[in-house]
Structures are given as structure tokens and as C-alpha cells.
């Protein structure tokens, strides 16, 4: 017998403390006493594993538990490998930015959007510029126009303190 210290620990062998269990095989399922199920597992040289303790009676399977854990960890590792993390790239603009500079920043954002990442566009207002936030909205409108229809506005332009922030994400499909 072996002990595994993980959060997904299943009851197995002698740790199963119920009178009868539903034993599930490849081709059938039947309700038998726990002792009979344990004897069957020992005959085959395998472990009796409780896979569904909430069921009435609990469901058990006869399997090689070490191999089961190994296969499970392989599947989890493969799933993590295929998982894509979405990054957030920030592009800073100013309220007085020129049209050509907006084009360059929009092209950089397009490259990042093409990699299916999100883009946070921000404008910092300094001093008297706080009184003219409408100029910032015009800059955002120009920026969105340059981006075309490759993006979705995830968070509309909003003034937060001295900054106006907008978040863009790639268009699905």
C-alpha cells in the first residue's frame, strides 16, 4: 500500500469504510460488499479505488492507482502546455499627439492584437489638459479608426484620475 499527499486523494483499498459498493468494470456494474470487491482487486493485483463517494452506494473501480495518477498528471501537464495566457500590452498616447504618431502606435497595437492579446490604451492628462478631456476622446476615436474592425472595445474610454483608459481585445472569428 502507498500513500499519496495530494488534494485529489481518492479512498482506496482498506480506507474504504462502507458496507457495500457499486463495482464498475469495463463491461458491467454490480453492487457487492466492500470485502468482496477488495478480494477481487487483490486477485488481479490491483487497487480498489472509490471514484464517486457521494453516490448511493459509492462507486468503486479496480485499477492500478499509480498508473492512474501518472496518466492524470500527464493529461494535466499536456493541458497546461496547450493553455494560452493572454497578455495585456499598454500603449500610451498624449492628448496632443500627431496623426502620424497615432498611425505608428496603431500599427504596433495591430501586431499585438494579431497574436490574440489585449491592448490597454491610455492618455495621461497633465495640468490644464484635464479641462480638455474631449481632446482625449478625439484621439481615441482616431486610434480606433486606424485599428479598423480587427478589435472589440472591451472597456470603453473612461477617465480615471488624470488618465483616460480604454481596453481593446481581438475580434473572435
The one-character DSSP state at 118 is: E
Confidence band, pLDDT 50/70/90 cuts, at residue 81: confident
pLDDT at 2: 45
pLDDT at 55 exceeding the cut of 70: yes
Q: Is residue 173 pLDDT above 70, yes or no?
A: no
The pLDDT assigned to 4 comes to: 44
Q: Which residues pair with 153 in a beta bridge?
A: 168
- The percentage of residues in the chain with a pLDDT greater than 90, rounded to a whole number, is 24
**Residue 10 pLDDT:** 63
Q: Delineate the domains of the chain, giving CATH numbers in brackets.
A: 1-69 (3.10.20.80), 88-170 (3.30.110.10)
Q: What is the CA radius of gyration of the chain?
A: 30
Amino acid at each position: 500500500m502507498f500513500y499519496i499527499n495530494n488534494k485529489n486523494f481518492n479512498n482506496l483499498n482498506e480506507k474504504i469504510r462502507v458496507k457495500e459498493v457499486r463495482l464498475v468494470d469495463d463491461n458491467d456494474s454490480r453492487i457487492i460488499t466492500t470485502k468482496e470487491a477488495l478480494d477481487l482487486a487483490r486477485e488481479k493485483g490491483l487497487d480498489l479505488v472509490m471514484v464517486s463517494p457521494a453516490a448511493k452506494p459509492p462507486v468503486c473501480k479496480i485499477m492500478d492507482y499509480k498508473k492512474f495518477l501518472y496518466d492524470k498528471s500527464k493529461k494535466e501537464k499536456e493541458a497546461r502546455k496547450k493553455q494560452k495566457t493572454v497578455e495585456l500590452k499598454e500603449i500610451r498616447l498624449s492628448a496632443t499627439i500627431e496623426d502620424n504618431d497615432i498611425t505608428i502606435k496603431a500599427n504596433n497595437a495591430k501586431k499585438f492584437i494579431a497574436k490574440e492579446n489585449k491592448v490597454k490604451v491610455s492618455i495621461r492628462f497633465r495640468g490644464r489638459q484635464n479641462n480638455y478631456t474631449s481632446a482625449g476622446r478625439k484621439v481615441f476615436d482616431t486610434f480606433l479608426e486606424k485599428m479598423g474592425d480587427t478589435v472589440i472595445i472591451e472597456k470603453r474610454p473612461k477617465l480615471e484620475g488624470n488618465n483616460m483608459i480604454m481596453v481593446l481585445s481581438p475580434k473572435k472569428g
